[in-house]
């Protein structure tokens, strides 16, 4: 009788299970040897423009295979197919893994998650653990006007918690594109006052990014700006800078912040407004991010003269730009699509 009940229970599970099991809804990579051995990084992705799923999986491979970190990459998932689709703003499976994370890397835009899922992000931030935000993370959360969520003040437009998660934890919320979106790229210049910062070891004084410059206006004197972004007149690194009255200004592009969580705990964050999949073709920009991760996870003094940021698998990023649901469905992209192919 016991065996019969067990068999019937297994049949119930099989028939009622979703198409994609939980183990198929995110990517886990074990760390080899390296500076981050024994630590875990959780990457939270979900934005429509910059192929965050590609770039963050590339970094997860570098950090796990070259530097020892265990890495988990989370995605916006279509519930009905189990495929990746950043247009779905309310479903990022696996956020519970943040409970054991040593670092959260967030590259998300306008997410409106159920409170039960959002609670994991809130708990992580309230612990005072480090956060690394990329590009759209300044406006990671957006709630509908009729929302009754207990976390609606995390919205990038929040008045009650000024600027929400972006401004309070990362340093600024979304303001506007300073350069022309997908028409004007960025030349980033090192801040001479920070040239000796350990995170800048092995990083060039200038960085080219395909993404345009974003407006950043609310950093404080205590925030440490490592790079400023200058608007270029086109999408090539050889295009001259825009020097009209409005654009002859360099916006903060990468900075550290000491934040105060809603719990009152103090934490540290690093943010860059770079981050398109094409940006990561720049070796120095990849090294800046890897070095910042070393710093946030307690290894700042051990940052080498030239951190290894070589690709683990061939990296062939897709162009930026929003895609329709039909286009995402046609790709049939799953977390398993980003498994390591070349050991």
Q: What would the pLDDT profile of 65-81 be if each residue is shown by its tens digit?
A: 999 999 999 999 999 99
Torsions phi, psi for 253 (to 5 deg): -115, -25
Q: Which domains does the chain have, with CATH numbers?
A: 28-174+253-338 (3.40.50)
What percent of the chain has a predicted confidence (pLDDT) above 90? 89
248, pLDDT greater than 80: no
* Average pLDDT of span 239-262: 89
4, pLDDT greater than 60: no
How many Cβ atoms are within 10 Å of 18's Cβ, its own excluded?
Answer: 13
* Average pLDDT of span 228-257: 90
What percent of the chain has a predicted confidence (pLDDT) above 70? 92
pLDDT category at 245 given cuts 50, 70, 90 is low
Cα 166–chain centre separation: 12
Q: Which of 232, 112, 137 is nearest to 179 (CA)?
A: 232
Paired with 131 in beta bridges are 104, 269
* Average pLDDT of span 251-276: 98
137, pLDDT greater than 80: yes
pLDDT category at 15 given cuts 50, 70, 90 is very low
pLDDT category at 244 given cuts 50, 70, 90 is confident
- pLDDT, the chain, mean: 92
pTM for this entry:
0.93
Structural contact between residues 102 and 268, judged by C-beta atoms closer than 8 angstroms:
no
State the Cα–Cα distance between residues 252 and 145, nearest whole angstrom.
Answer: 31
* Residue tagged 């990038």 (tokens): 156
Kindly compute the dihedral angle of the four CA atoms of residues 195, 196, 202, 205, in this order, to the nearest 10 degrees: 10
Cα 95–chain centre separation: 14
Tell me which of 2-11, 44-53, 240-249, 330-339 is least confident. Answer: 2-11
Where do the DSSP E strands lie in the chain?
26-29, 40-46, 70-74, 103-108, 131-134, 186-190, 206-209, 224-231, 251-260, 266-272
pLDDT category at 5 given cuts 50, 70, 90 is very low
> What is the model's pLDDT at position 16?
33
Which residues are CB-contacts of 148 (< 8 A; sequence separation ≥ 6)?
none
* Average pLDDT of span 247-275: 95
């Amino acid at each position: 009788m016991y065996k019969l009940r067990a068999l019937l229970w297994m049949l119930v599970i099989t028939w009622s299970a979703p198409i994609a099991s939980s183990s198929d809804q995110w990517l886990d990579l074990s760390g080899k040897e390296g500076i981050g051995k024994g630590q875990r990084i959780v990457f939270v992705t979900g934005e429509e423009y910059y192929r965050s799923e590609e770039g963050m999986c590339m970094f997860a491979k570098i950090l796990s295979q070259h530097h020892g970190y265990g890495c988990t990459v989370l995605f916006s998932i279509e519930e009905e197919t189990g495929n990746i689709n950043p247009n779905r703003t309310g479903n990022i499976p696996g956020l519970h893994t943040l409970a054991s994370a040593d670092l959260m890397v967030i590259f998300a835009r306008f997410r409106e998650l159920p409170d039960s899922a959002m609670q994991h992000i809130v708990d992580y931030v309230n612990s005072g653990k480090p956060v690394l935000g990329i590009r759209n993370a300044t406006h990671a959360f957006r709630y509908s006007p009729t929302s009754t969520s207990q976390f609606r003040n995390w919205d990038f437009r929040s008045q009650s918690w000024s600027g929400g998660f972006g401004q309070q934890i990362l340093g600024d919320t979304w303001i506007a594109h300073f350069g022309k979106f997908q028409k004007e790229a960025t030349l980033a210049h090192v801040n001479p006052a920070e040239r000796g910062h350990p995170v800048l070891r092995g990083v060039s004084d200038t960085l080219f990014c395909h993404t345009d410059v974003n407006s950043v206006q609310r950093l404080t004197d205590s925030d440490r700006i490592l790079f400023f972004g200058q608007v270029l007149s086109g999408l090539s690194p050889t295009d001259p800078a825009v020097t009209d009255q409005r654009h002859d200004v360099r916006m903060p592009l990468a900075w550290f912040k000491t934040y105060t969580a809603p719990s009152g705990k103090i934490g540290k964050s690093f943010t860059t407004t770079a981050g398109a999949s094409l940006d990561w073709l720049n070796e120095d920009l990849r090294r800046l991010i890897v070095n910042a991760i070393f710093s946030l996870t307690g290894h700042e003094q051990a940052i080498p003269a030239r951190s290894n940021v070589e690709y683990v698998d061939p990296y062939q990023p897709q162009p930026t730009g929003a895609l329709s649901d039909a286009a995402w469905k046609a790709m049939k992209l799953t977390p398993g699509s980003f498994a390591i192919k070349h050991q």
